[in-house]
Every structure is written in C-alpha cells, then in structure tokens.
Amino acid sequence: MNLLSLEEVTVAHPGHAPMLRGLTLAMDEGERIGLIGPNGAGKTSLFQTIAGVLPARAGQIRLNGASVTPGRFRPDVALVFQQAEDQLFCPTLAEDVAFGPRNLGLPGSEVATRTADALAACGLTGLEDRPVHQLSGGEKRRAAIAGALVMQPALLLLDEPSGGLDLRNRRRLIALLSELPPALLIASHDLELLLELCPRVVLIDAGRIRADGPARDVLGDAALMTGHGQEVPQSLTQHPQR
Ligand SMILES: Nc1ncnc2c1ncn2[C@@H]1O[C@H](COP(=O)(O)OP(=O)(O)OP(=O)(O)O)[C@@H](O)[C@H]1O
Ligand SMILES: [Mg+2]
C-alpha cells in the first residue's frame, strides 16, 4: 500500500477554475519527492488539497489507505507553510510547538517530551520562551518545521523550506531534513536543495504533471526544463556525467 495516492485529482479554489487537473501520483512510506513548477503552477494549492484544507474538486486522495476528507484532522500529514509567519500564532515558541500535541489530548509529559525533541531537532533549544514575532526569519522557518515534526507525521509537506534562509541556515536545513524519518514532499524553486534531498522530482505546469522521474533525469533535461520556465541546476550542467 502506498503512503499517499492521488487518482485523477482536480485542484481548484472555490469560485475559480481548476489550476490542476487529472493528477495521478503515488508516494511510498519514507519517500522524498521534490515538486517543481513555475510561480502560480499550483504547488501550494496542491499541498493544501493533500493536507485536507482545500477540498479536491474531483478525484480521490488516500493517505495510508484512508480517504482525505476536508475538515477532518489528520495528524499523519503535516504542512509547513510557504510563509512561516502564517503558521505561528502562540505567544511563545514553546507554546506554539506544543499546540498540536496538546490539541491531540496527549498527556502533559508526552507533550513536553515531544516539544523538547522537536525544538532540539530544529536547533531551537534555549529559545522556548521567545515571543514568536521576535524570532528571525530563519528561526521562524525552523519553528514552523518543529511545529510540524512534533506531530510525528508520516508525511511532511514542505512549501519552499529554504526561502529567505542564509547559506549557513540553508545548509543546516538540508542536514535537518536529510535526517527526518517521515516521507517528504518538498515544493521548491531551490533545485540544488531538491537534488540533494529528493531522489524523485515531479514537474507541474499549465494544469498537469509534465514529468515524474529520477531527480537527475528530470532536472537535467534541458528541453523539458526550459520548456516549463525552469533551468537545469548548475551542478548538473557542470558534471553532466555524475
Ligand atoms: N485562495 C486563493 N483563491 C483563488 N485563487 C488562488 C488562491 N490561492 C492561490 N490562487 C491561485 O491559484 C494558482 C496557483 O497558486 P499557488 O499558490 O498554488 O502556486 P504555486 O505553484 O505555489 O506558486 P509559487 O511558486 O509562486 O509559490 C495561482 O494562479 C494563484 O493566483
Ligand atoms: Mg507556492
């Protein structure tokens, strides 16, 4: 059984025409897939649909065999927003990260352990009492990831995780993500990051999946990439044989 399966899924915002149609995709447990496509292709909207926030207009989405029903909370999938600010809302960092497990009704000791572990994994130990609005952009992004990891999801959806990070924090993020147990679906314009983390890449453009295959084959296909407003990442043009 696949961890995630999409069958003929149509993604659309209420009152608007669909921006993605007939999406069929299967993802295994622990798999890492990079999702690419131009601005406005529908990456964020697709994540919202998989997370059950935006109802699919047609088609079937299954997670661990069960249908994703909008409005029904699924702790096995966690979404890290493109804008970390949109995700953080509690007075302090620790309260924010603890919010999800507390909401699940877990015992206080379990909430505390999970929160401490998620903060440590994201390099945020020591900032527990910091008001979230006082965190730097990079810290906010790691806080948003901690708030997702704390739920111990089977599938983590990361929307532009390296946006706004300096080189050192981008490198730390790659190290952090490479160690994570859940399956990762990562939407990004940072193609080098995807090359490092994701053996498989899916390209969406103009309403459909345009490519789905090994990262080096998809990202290294110059005609395909330029045809969809992308560029072959530099590391593949410099070492095409690797
Ligand atoms: N809440 C909304 N209501 C109506 N249309 C929306 C809404 N959010 C996004 N859209 C539209 O849906 C399309 C897909 O947007 P989406 O944010 O999913 O793209 P994206 O691939 O994530 O782009 P980017 O690379 O810029 O993050 C765009 O045309 C956008 O204008
Ligand atoms: Mg987006």
Q: Is the CB of 42 under 6 A from ligand 1?
A: yes
Query: Once rounded to an integer, what is the mean pLDDT over residues 143-171?
Result: 94
Residue 161's pLDDT band, with cuts at 50, 70 and 90, is very high
Q: Is the CB of 44 under 6 A from ligand 1?
A: yes
Q: Is the CB of 45 under 6 A from ligand 1?
A: yes
Query: Once rounded to an integer, what is the mean pLDDT over residues 168-196?
Result: 95
CA 133 to chain CA centroid, Å, is 22
Distance in angstroms (rounded) separating the CA atoms of residues 143 and 109? 20
Residue 240 scores a pLDDT above 60: no
Burial letters 68-92, b for 16+ CB under 10 A, else e:
beeeeebeebbbbbbebeebbeeee
Proximal ligand: closest to the CA of 159: 2
Residue 229 scores a pLDDT above 90: yes
Closest atom, ligand 1, to C-alpha of 47? 18
Residue 74's pLDDT band, with cuts at 50, 70 and 90, is confident
Any idea of the CA torsion for 93, 96, 97, 100, to the nearest 10 degrees? 170
In angstroms, what is the span from residue 186 Cα to ligand 2's centroid?
Answer: 11
Which residues are bridge partners to 26 per DSSP? 5
pLDDT at 73: 82
At 16-36, the pLDDT tens digits run: 999 999 999 999 999 999 999
pLDDT at 224: 98
Proximal ligand: closest to the CA of 36: 1
Residue 70's pLDDT band, with cuts at 50, 70 and 90, is confident
In angstroms, what is the span from residue 121 Cα to ligand 2's centroid?
Answer: 25
Residue 241's pLDDT band, with cuts at 50, 70 and 90, is low
- 28 vs 87, residue with greater confidence: 28
For the chain, what is the total number of helices (H) and then of strands (E)? Answer: 9, 10
Q: Which of 163, 210, 211 is nearest to 186 (CA)?
A: 163
Which residue, by CA, sits nearest to atom 3 of ligand 1? 13
Q: Which residue among 44, 86, 186, 205 is best mutated to probe the pocket of ligand 1, counting the most ligand atoms within 8 A of its Cβ?
A: 44
Distance in angstroms (rounded) separating the CA atoms of residues 35 and 104? 30
Distance in angstroms (rounded) separating the CA atoms of residues 57 and 68? 13
Q: Percent of the chain beyond pLDDT 90?
A: 89
pLDDT at 242: 52
pLDDT at 239: 58
Q: Is the CB of 13 under 6 A from ligand 1?
A: yes
Q: Is the CB of 206 under 6 A from ligand 1?
A: no
Residue 89's identity, in one-letter code, is F
Q: Is the CB of 40 under 6 A from ligand 1?
A: yes
Q: Which residues contact 192 (CB under 8 A, 6 or more apart)?
A: 233, 234, 235
At 112-155, the pLDDT tens digits run: 999 999 999 999 999 999 999 999 988 999 999 999 999 999 99
Residue 173 scores a pLDDT above 80: yes
Query: Once rounded to an integer, what is the mean pLDDT over residues 194-206?
Result: 98
Structure-block tokens of residue 235: 């590391």
Which residue, by CA, sits nearest to atom 30 of ligand 1? 40
Helix, coil or strand: residue 95 = helix
Q: Specify the pTM.
A: 0.95
Distance in angstroms (rounded) separating the CA atoms of residues 76 and 60? 17
pLDDT averaged over every residue in the chain: 95
Distance in angstroms (rounded) separating the CA atoms of residues 99 and 92? 11
In angstroms, what is the span from residue 45 Cα to ligand 1's centroid?
Answer: 6
Q: Which domains does the chain have, with CATH numbers?
A: 1-73+157-166+183-242 (3.40.50.300), 77-152 (no CATH)
Torsions phi, psi of 221, nearest 5? Answer: -90, 95
Distances (CA, A) of 18 to 21, 45, 99, 232: 7, 10, 33, 28
